[in-house]
Homo-oligomer: A and B are copies of this chain.
Amino acid sequence: MTTHGGASPSLIDVARAAGVSTATAGRALGGYGQVSERTRERVLAAAAELGYRPNGLARSMITGSTHTIGVVVADVANPFFATALSGITDVAQPAGFEVLLANTGGALAAEQRAVSVMSEKRVDGMIVAAAQPGEGTHLKHAMEAGVPVVLIDRQVSGVPEADSITIDNEHAAAEAVAHLLELGHRRIGVITEAGDQLARLRAGTRRRGLFPSAVRLRGYVRALDAAGVEVDEALVAPARYERGSAYDALLSLLDLADPPTAVLCTDNVLASGAYRAAQDRGLRMPEELSLIGFDDEPWTTLVRPELTIVEQPTYDLGARAGRQLLDHIEGERAGRAPQHIQLKAKLVARESTARPVAVR
């Protein structure tokens, strides 16, 4: 007997109180299979006396649907994922689906475990912001077992049959850099989590299995190439996904013999760290440095100068993923080719970008 203190009575408890087998108690309570009227009454009386709850699980086991979707993200405390998650719940809940959440901290092992547990709990489908876009074996297994998967924010190698909803990150970053080029900047730096992938990005044609940061770095390179401005590796400053790391990265760019006049930060955490570093260094923005960040967070219009940003449709990203998954679950996408939807980001020019002083 594995019931535990404080929990509701289990089927075993009911069966024992009624003096029948667990299987018989299950048949009597679930209303399936054969059971005598007298036994049924005894089981129902025991269930009532013990306070046994009407059981969604039993129904789920029989119908094969739990009306639950799994959502796997790296960090729910990051406003990007929190906002996407609210888009998902706003679509799922009115349709009668609950959301099972896993927060992986960006660790592949935690994601693999979460996908396995959710699969065992028989979620009807999953929305996954993959920890490692290069590794999708566990997602492939889930799909082979009949669990539809919708990828969000990042495509994943090895699961081309999964739908994906992403931002057009290459275009978004290229547009931000083009804005700086138009203002007259030529020394344009970038603070990026994908700093080590520069050589591969410039050579390669790989489209899947990349973090958004790598795709954005490719957009940075593309915009410079298109303008005939040579990419200077010294201006590509690597940073971890932390404010402090971005802070150090901006200072290292400023300490170059020939420092950049403008810097693109490829996400909101990096942008806030870099903004702080520019403040602490006493730099006047935009006169001495133009700065661009990602995501239209409230702080970006409270700071002076207001931050020029690339606005991502984050809530829509979640809502679209939710609708796509519900379509799958309801069988409306059966037999169709997977969809890879890219939503557009938008450059919002504010006060932190202007012509470089030397050009004025």
Contacts and interface: CB of A to CB of B under 8 A. Distances in A.
What's the interface size class on A, roughly?
A: 35 or more
A3 B101 CA distance: 24
Contacts of A53: 119-120, 122, 145-146
By Cβ-Cβ distance, the 3 closest A-B pairs, closest first, are A5-B331, A10-B64, A299-B299
B60 A57 contact: yes
Copies in the complex: 2
Interface string A47-77: 0000101111110111111101001000111
A76 B13 CA distance: 37
Interface stretch (A81-89, A166-174, A340-348): A81-89
Given A61-B11, A302-B276, A328-B6, A121 B102 contact: no
Interface stretch (A26-34, A231-239, A255-263): A26-34
A148 B6 contact: yes
Contacts of A101: 71, 85, 89, 98-101
A61 B64 contact: no
Interface of A: 2-13, 21-24, 26-27, 32-34, 51, 53-58, 60-66, 68, 71, 75-79, 82-83, 85-86, 89-90, 93, 98-103, 110, 114, 117-122, 124, 144-148, 243, 272, 275-276, 279, 297-299, 301-304, 315, 328-334
A330 B6 CA distance: 8
B76 A76 contact: yes
A99 B100 contact: yes
10 contacts: A6-B146, A21-B34, A57-B60, A85-B103, A98-B100, A98-B101, A98-B121, A99-B101, A279-B304, A304-B304
Nearest to A121: B56
